[in-house]
C-alpha cells in the first residue's frame, strides 16, 4: 500500500473505532478520541517526513495524554459546578 493510501485507510479505521464509544466512560472516550486524533495527525506528518508508523505512534501517545488531561479538567469543572449548585440550594433553605 502506498504512503498516500495509508492515511485515508488509517483515518477510516479510526473513525470506525470511535463509532463504538457509546458504552464508554467519559474518561475512556476522551482519551481514545485524543489518541485517534493524535494518530491521524501523526500519520499525516509522518507520511510527509517518510516515517508513517512512528508518526502515528507518537501522535497517538501525545493525543491520548492530551485527551486524558482534558478529561481531568472537565471533571474538575463539573465538580466545581455541582459544589456551587449545592451551596446555592443550601443558601435558599
Please spell the DSSP secondary structure of 25-77, one letter per residue: -HHHHHHHHHHHHHHHHHHHHHHHHT-HHHHHHHHHHHHHHHHHHHHHHHHHH
Euclidean distance between the first and the last CA atom of the chain, given in angstroms as a whole number: 68
The region of weakest confidence among 54-58, 70-74, 80-84 is 54-58
Split at pLDDT 50, 70, 90, the class of 5 is low
Average of pLDDT values for 62-79? 95
Query: Is pLDDT at 14 greater than 80 in this prediction?
Result: no
Amino acid at each position: 500500500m502506498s504512503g498516500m493510501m495509508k492515511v485515508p485507510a488509517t483515518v477510516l479505521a479510526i473513525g470506525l473505532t470511535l463509532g463504538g464509544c457509546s458504552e464508554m466512560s467519559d474518561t475512556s472516550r476522551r482519551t481514545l478520541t485524543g489518541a485517534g486524533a493524535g494518530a491521524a495527525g501523526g500519520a499525516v506528518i509522518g507520511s510527509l517526513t517518510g516515517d508513517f508508523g512512528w508518526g502515528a505512534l507518537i501522535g497517538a501517545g501525545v493525543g491520548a495524554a492530551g485527551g486524558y488531561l482534558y478529561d481531568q479538567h472537565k471533571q474538575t469543572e463539573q465538580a466545581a459546578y455541582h459544589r456551587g449548585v449545592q451551596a446555592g440550594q443550601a443558601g435558599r433553605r
